[in-house]
Amino acid sequence: MTKKIKVSVLLTSYNHAKYLKKAIDSVLDQTFSDFELIIWDDASTDESWQIITSYSDIRIKSFRNEARKRGIWGMNKAISEIALGEYIAIHHSDDIWELQKLEKQVAFLDENPAIGAVFSNALIIGENDEPFKDVSHFYYEIFDQPNRTRYEWLNHFFYHGNVLCHPSLLIRKACYDDCGLYRYAFAQIPDFDMWVRLCLKYDIHVLPEKLIQFRVRLNEMNTSGDRPETNIRAQFELLQMLKNYRRIETSDDFLKIFPDSKEYLKQEGFDMGFALGMAALEPKTLHIVKLFGLELLFEALNDPERARSINNLYKFSYQDFIALTAKHDVFLVELRATLTTQLREKEQTVQELTQTVLGLRMQLSEIFNSRTWKFLLFLRKLRGSRREKL
Sign of CA dihedral 20, 23, 27, 28: positive
Distance (Å, whole) CA 314 – CA 253: 20
Residues 6+ apart with CB under 8 A from 94: 16, 19, 23, 215, 217
* CA neighbor of 74 nearest in space, from 45, 49, 40, 23: 40
**How wide is the angle at C-alpha 108 spanned by C-alphas 104 and 110, nearest 5°?**
115
Do 82 and 189 share a domain, yes or no? yes
Do 32 and 121 share a domain, yes or no? yes
Tell me the one-letter amino acid at 344.
R
Residue 334 has a pLDDT of 74
Do 47 and 133 share a domain, yes or no? yes
| Domain containing residue 169 | 5-224
Residue 262 has a pLDDT of 95
pLDDT tens string for the chain (390 positions)? 567 899 999 999 999 999 999 999 999 999 999 999 999 999 999 999 999 999 999 999 999 999 988 879 999 999 999 999 999 999 999 999 999 999 999 999 999 999 999 999 999 999 898 988 888 887 888 999 999 999 999 999 999 999 999 999 999 999 999 999 999 989 889 999 999 999 999 999 999 999 999 999 766 555 555 567 888 889 999 999 999 999 999 999 999 999 999 999 998 999 999 999 999 999 888 999 999 999 999 999 999 999 999 999 999 999 999 999 999 988 877 767 777 778 788 888 888 888 888 888 888 887 777 777 666 666 677 676 666 655
Residue 139's CATH number: 3.90.550.10
Do 129 and 177 share a domain, yes or no? yes
Residue 133 has a pLDDT of 85
3-state class of 187 per DSSP?
coil
Residue 357 has a pLDDT of 87
Domain boundary among 327, 349, 374: 327
Which stretch of DSSP H or E encloses residue 37?
Answer: strand 35-41
* CA neighbor of 125 nearest in space, from 216, 196, 38, 195: 216
Residues 6+ apart with CB under 8 A from 217: 94, 127, 225
Domain count, the chain: 3
Q: Is the pTM of this model over 0.95?
A: no
Do 174 and 82 share a domain, yes or no? yes
Distance (Å, whole) CA 180 – CA 176: 5
Residue 373 has a pLDDT of 60
Do 290 and 218 share a domain, yes or no? no
Do 92 and 217 share a domain, yes or no? yes
Q: Where are the alpha helices (DSSP H) in the chain?
A: 17-28, 48-53, 71-77, 101-111, 150-160, 173-179, 190-199, 228-242, 251-257, 272-280, 287-301, 304-314, 318-327, 333-369, 371-389
* CA neighbor of 275 nearest in space, from 295, 299, 254, 247: 254
Residue 388 has a pLDDT of 60
Distance (Å, whole) CA 125 – CA 140: 9
